[in-house]
Amino acid sequence: MSLGASQLPLPAILTLLGVLLPGPGGAQISVEPPKAIIPRGGSVQVTCIATCDEDTFFGLETQLMKREVAHGNNRKTYELSNVQEDSAPICFSNCHNNQTTATTSLTVFWFPERVELESLPHWQPVGKNLTLRCQVEGGAPRPHLSVVLLRGEEELSRQTKVNLTEVTATVLAGRDDHGANFSCRTELDLRSEGLGLFQNVSAPRQLRTFVLPVTDPHLAAPLIMEVGTRWLVNCTLVGLFPASEAQVMLVLGEQKLEPTVKYNDDFLWASAWVEAKSEEEGTHQLTCAVILGNQSRRSQQTVTIYSFPAPSLTLSQPEVSEMTVVSVECKAHAGAMVTMLSGAPAGPPASSVQFQLNVTAEDNGHSFLCSAALEVAGEVLYKNKTLKLHVLYGPRLNEKDCPGNWTWQEGSQQTLRCQAWGNPTPKLDCRQNGTGFLLPIGDLRPVKREISGSYVCRAKSSRGEVIREVVVNVIYHDNNVIIIVLVTALVIVSVVLTGAYLYNRQRKIREYKLQKAQEAAAMKLNTPP
Ligand SMILES: *[C@@H]1O[C@H](CO)[C@@H](O)[C@H](O)[C@H]1NC(C)=O
Ligand SMILES: *[C@@H]1O[C@H](CO)[C@@H](O)[C@H](O)[C@H]1NC(C)=O
Ligand SMILES: *[C@@H]1O[C@H](CO)[C@@H](O)[C@H](O)[C@H]1NC(C)=O
Ligand SMILES: *[C@@H]1O[C@H](CO)[C@@H](O)[C@H](O)[C@H]1NC(C)=O
Ligand SMILES: *[C@@H]1O[C@H](CO)[C@@H](O)[C@H](O)[C@H]1NC(C)=O
Ligand SMILES: *[C@@H]1O[C@H](CO)[C@@H](O)[C@H](O)[C@H]1NC(C)=O
Ligand SMILES: *[C@@H]1O[C@H](CO)[C@@H](O)[C@H](O)[C@H]1NC(C)=O
Ligand SMILES: *[C@@H]1O[C@H](CO)[C@@H](O)[C@H](O)[C@H]1NC(C)=O
Ligand SMILES: *[C@@H]1O[C@H](CO)[C@@H](O)[C@H](O)[C@H]1NC(C)=O
Ligand SMILES: *[C@@H]1O[C@H](CO)[C@@H](O)[C@H](O)[C@H]1NC(C)=O
Ligand SMILES: *[C@@H]1O[C@H](CO)[C@@H](O)[C@H](O)[C@H]1NC(C)=O
C-alpha cells in the first residue's frame, strides 16, 4: 500500500496524540462502513459519525477525490470516487482537545487484464515432461485469485492466492494428449465479500505429441537393377505415432521418388516404383527418411543400375547349304565376357568366341547356346543367347524312308510309307507310270490287288528334284478252277432237271388222251336212243 505509506505521518501523529492525550471516555468518532470492496475506479460513500457532546470539528482524511454529499448534526457523508487502489481513509474528530480517529478499509477489486497460456512446443515427444506456463497480468485482490491449468475441461493444477505473474505446471505428455486443448483460467473468488466468482479463460492451445522409435526404417530394395526394369522399393517403420502425420521421403541419388504411403495405428509403409534408366547407370544411394515431429529417422542403401544386353550370336551366312563351312561367332557387350559357346572348344572367358563348322543335313535345327557373364556389385550375372541353325538340303528320297519294293498279300492290313526329306520341305508326288494313279500312302486295310504296279515318286523343292521308283506287288490266289467246277456242276444239274421235266410232261399228256377216249365211249352208252 504505497498510498498508505505516504499517508502515514498524519494518522500516526494523530494516533500518537490520541495515545498521549487520552479522552475522558469512549471513542468520539466512528466510520461507516468500517470496510468496503469496490470495483477499481468505482465510488463509495463513507460516513464519519462524531459522538462528542459539544460542537466538534471532525472530517475525513484521504488522498482520494472526496465530495461531501450529506451533512448532519454530528455526521458527515462523503463520496469517494475513482478509487484505483486499496486505501484506508480516516475519520477524525477533535473533542475537548482530544483528537480521535477511525479508519475504514477500502479494497479495490479488478479482473486480470491478461490471461494467456504460453505457446506450446510445435511437437512434444511422448514420455517427456511438458511445462505449461500461464501469464496472468493484473487482477486484484490477489489473495482471492486462483489460477487453474486445464486440459480440455480437466483440471491439471490449481494454485490459489497467486501473487506472481506466471503460473506453471508440468505434465507428462502421452499419446492421449495428441490433439488435446490446453488452457488456463483465473478465478477471482469474491463470494466471501458478498460478490460472485469471476472467471477469465485464456485462448486454448492445441498440443501435438508424437513417438518416433529409435530404430531406423526398414528399406527393401534390390541391390542391383538392370536398365529397363521397374522395381517397387519399400520403406517401413513400426512403432511410430501418429503414423498418419509422418512424412516419408524416398530419394534415389538426386531423384525424388513419389511414394505411395499407407499406414495404420503405429505402422507406416511407403513404396515407390523405380525405373532403371540407361542414363542412370552406376551406383546411387537410395535413402528413406521418415519425419515426424521435429525428428527424423533414415536408412540408406546402395543401388547399382547396370546395363547387360544378351551377347550377340551370329552366323557368317544367314542361310547355309549342307557341306558348306560357316563360322559361328558370339560377342559379348562391353564389360561382359563370353564364358561358353556350345560347339566351340572350352577356353578362358573372352569378349568374343568363334568357331567354324562344316554343316551337314543333320545340323538342321541344331541350337547353339552362348553364355556371357557380367559382374555387378560383386554378383556375377549371366545372359544367354541361342541360335537355331537352318541347313538347306535335299530333296531326298531314300530306301529307309521310302522303300522301293513292297510285296503284300491281298486283303492283309499294311502301311505304305514314303517320306521325302529336305529343307525346305519338298513336295512329294507318286503316280503310276502311264495311268497316273496316285500311290496310296498310309494305312491300307485291306490291300487290294488293283494297287499293284510301279510308281514314280518325285520329291521337289526349290533346291531341285529327285525321283524314286516304288513297286507294289499284291499276291493273290487265282479262283478260276472252282468257278469252272461250279459252272459245270450247275450245267449238269440244269440238264438233268430239264430232262426229268420233259419226260414227266409227256407221260401226263398220254394219260389224258386215254381218259378222254373212255369218257366219249361212256357217253355213247348212256344216251337214250
Ligand atoms: C481523550 O479521549 C480518550 C479516549 O478516547 C480518553 O481516554 C482521555 O482521557 C481523553 N482525554 C481528555 C483530556 O479528555
Ligand atoms: C516429470 O516431472 C515430474 C515432476 O513434475 C518428475 O517426477 C518426473 O521424473 C519427470 N519425468 C521426466 C520423464 O522427466
Ligand atoms: C507472494 O510473494 C511474496 C514475495 O513477493 C512471497 O514471499 C510469498 O510467499 C508469495 N505468496 C505466495 C502465496 O506465493
Ligand atoms: C481443440 O480445439 C480445436 C479448435 O480450437 C477443435 O477443433 C478440437 O476439436 C479441439 N480438440 C479437442 C480434443 O477437443
Ligand atoms: C474477465 O471475466 C469477467 C467476467 O468474469 C469479464 O467481465 C471480463 O471482461 C473478463 N476480462 C477479460 C480480459 O476478458
Ligand atoms: C515391396 O512390397 C511389395 C508388396 O508387398 C512386394 O511385392 C515387393 O516385392 C516389395 N519390394 C521389395 C524390393 O521387397
Ligand atoms: C525437438 O524439439 C525439442 C523441443 O520441443 C528440442 O528439445 C529438441 O532438441 C528438438 N530435436 C531436434 C532433433 O530438433
Ligand atoms: C565338308 O564335309 C564333307 C563330307 O563330310 C566333305 O566332302 C567336304 O569337302 C567338306 N567341306 C569342306 C569345305 O571341308
Ligand atoms: C544360361 O546358361 C547357363 C549355362 O551356361 C545356365 O547355367 C543358366 O541357367 C542359363 N541362364 C538362363 C537365363 O537361361
Ligand atoms: C522285290 O521283292 C521280292 C521279294 O520280296 C523279290 O522277289 C523281287 O525280286 C524284288 N524286286 C525288286 C525289283 O527288287
Ligand atoms: C515310265 O514311262 C516312261 C515312258 O513313258 C519310261 O521311259 C520309263 O522308263 C517308265 N518308268 C518305269 C519305272 O516303268
pLDDT tens, residue by residue, 231-271: 999 999 999 999 999 999 999 999 999 999 999 988 999 99
**Residues 29, 49: contact at Cβ < 8 Å?**
yes
Task: Reply yes or no on whether the pLDDT at 159 is more than 70.
Answer: yes
- Which run of H or E residues covers position 12? helix 9-20
Determine what percent of the chain is predicted with pLDDT higher than 90.
72
pLDDT number for residue 495: 80
Residues 197 and 243 in one domain: no
Residues 227 and 163 in one domain: no
Ligand found nearest the CA of 163: 3
pLDDT number for residue 498: 83
pLDDT number for residue 525: 60
pLDDT tens, residue by residue, 391-403: 999 899 999 999 9
All three cell numbers of 473, joined, read: 506287288
Residues 440 and 409 in one domain: yes
Domain boundary among 240, 271, 304: 304
Q: Where are the beta strands (DSSP E) in 190-239?
A: 197-201, 205-206, 209-210, 218-220, 224-226, 230-238
pLDDT tens, residue by residue, 330-386: 999 999 999 999 989 998 999 999 999 999 999 999 999 999 999 999 999 999 999
Residues 321-330, mean pLDDT to the nearest whole number: 94
If pLDDT is split at 50, 70 and 90, which confidence band does 511 have?
confident
pLDDT number for residue 480: 66
pLDDT tens, residue by residue, 237-247: 999 999 999 99
Residues 297 and 334 in one domain: no
Ligand 10 atom closest to residue 471's alpha carbon, by position in its atom list: 13
Task: Reply yes or no on whether the pLDDT at 8 is more than 60.
Answer: no
Task: Reply yes or no on whether the pLDDT at 277 is more than 60.
Answer: yes
All three cell numbers of 224, joined, read: 542391383
pLDDT number for residue 433: 82
Residues 201 and 171 in one domain: yes
Ligand 10 centroid, distance to 405 Cα (angstroms):
6
Ligand 10 centroid, distance to 471 Cα (angstroms):
9
Residues 300 and 342 in one domain: no
Domain boundary among 177, 210, 243: 210
- Please tell me the number of Cα atoms within 13 Å of 307 on its side-chain side: 11
Residue nearest to atom 14 of ligand 11 (CA): 433
pLDDT tens, residue by residue, 116-155: 999 999 999 999 999 999 999 999 999 999 999 999 999 9
Please tell me the total count of domains within the chain.
5
Neighbours of 196 (CB within 10 A): 10
Residue nearest to atom 13 of ligand 1 (CA): 23
Pocket mutation for ligand 11, best pick of 405, 432, 433, 437 (most atoms within 8 Å of C-beta): 433
294 lines ligand 10 (CB under 6 A): no
Which residues have a Cβ under 8 Å from the Cβ of 506 and sit 6 or more positions away?
none
- Domain of 416, CATH number, reads 2.60.40.10
pLDDT number for residue 15: 43
pLDDT number for residue 512: 72
Ligand 3 centroid, distance to 137 Cα (angstroms):
16
Ligand 4 centroid, distance to 180 Cα (angstroms):
7
pLDDT number for residue 384: 95
Residues 211-221, mean pLDDT to the nearest whole number: 95
- Determine, yes or no, domain membership for 519: no
In which domain, by residue range, is 461 found?
397-475
What is the rounded distance in angstroms from the CA atom of residue 340 to the CA atom of residue 350?
Answer: 9
pLDDT tens, residue by residue, 498-509: 878 887 888 887
pLDDT tens, residue by residue, 439-485: 888 888 889 988 999 999 999 999 999 999 999 999 988 766 667 77
pLDDT number for residue 20: 38
Pocket mutation for ligand 5, best pick of 200, 201, 202 (most atoms within 8 Å of C-beta): 200
pLDDT number for residue 481: 62
pLDDT number for residue 26: 55
All three cell numbers of 459, joined, read: 520329291
Residues 78-102, mean pLDDT to the nearest whole number: 91
Query: Average pLDDT, whole number, for the chain?
Result: 89
Residues 120 and 80 in one domain: no
Answer with the residue of higher pLDDT: 343 or 26: 343
**Residues 263, 244: contact at Cβ < 8 Å?**
yes
Span of 66-75, 102-111, 118-127, 213-222 with lowest mean pLDDT: 66-75
If pLDDT is split at 50, 70 and 90, which confidence band does 3 have?
very low
Which residues have a Cβ under 8 Å from the Cβ of 228 and sit 6 or more positions away?
276, 278
Which amino acid, one-letter code, is at 478?
D
Residues 194 and 282 in one domain: no
- Determine, yes or no, domain membership for 55: yes
Residue nearest to atom 8 of ligand 1 (CA): 23
pLDDT number for residue 9: 45
pLDDT number for residue 492: 84
Residues 95 and 132 in one domain: no
Neighbours of 452 (CB within 10 A): 18
Q: Which residues pair with 32 in a beta bridge?
A: 47
Task: Reply yes or no on whether the pLDDT at 205 is more than 90.
Answer: yes
pLDDT number for residue 23: 38
Measuring CA to CA, which residue among 19, 78, 69 is closest to residue 47?
A: 78
Residues with beta carbon inside 6 Å of ligand 11? 433, 454, 456, 469
- Determine, yes or no, domain membership for 496: no
Pocket mutation for ligand 2, best pick of 124, 126, 129 (most atoms within 8 Å of C-beta): 129
pLDDT number for residue 118: 96
pLDDT number for residue 505: 83
pLDDT tens, residue by residue, 191-204: 999 999 999 999 99
Task: Reply yes or no on whether the pLDDT at 526 is more than 70.
Answer: no
Residue nearest to atom 10 of ligand 1 (CA): 23
Pocket mutation for ligand 4, best pick of 150, 183, 205, 206 (most atoms within 8 Å of C-beta): 206
Pocket mutation for ligand 7, best pick of 120, 130, 210, 294 (most atoms within 8 Å of C-beta): 294
If pLDDT is split at 50, 70 and 90, which confidence band does 528 have?
low
121 lines ligand 7 (CB under 6 A): yes
Ligand 5 atom closest to residue 115's alpha carbon, by position in its atom list: 13
- Determine, yes or no, domain membership for 449: yes
Ligand 11 atom closest to residue 456's alpha carbon, by position in its atom list: 13
- Determine, yes or no, domain membership for 139: yes
Task: Reply yes or no on whether the pLDDT at 81 is more than 80.
Answer: yes
Ligand 1 atom closest to residue 97's alpha carbon, by position in its atom list: 13
Domain boundary among 161, 180, 210: 210
Ligand 6 centroid, distance to 216 Cα (angstroms):
18
pLDDT number for residue 527: 56
Task: Reply yes or no on whether the pLDDT at 11 is more than 70.
Answer: no
Model confidence pTM above 0.75: no
pLDDT number for residue 468: 94
Task: Reply yes or no on whether the pLDDT at 4 is more than 70.
Answer: no
Residue nearest to atom 8 of ligand 11 (CA): 433
Determine what percent of the chain is predicted with pLDDT higher than 70.
92
- Determine, yes or no, domain membership for 12: no
Q: What are phi and psi of 515, to 5 degrees?
A: -65, -45
Residues 176 and 116 in one domain: yes
pLDDT number for residue 94: 86
- Determine, yes or no, domain membership for 59: yes
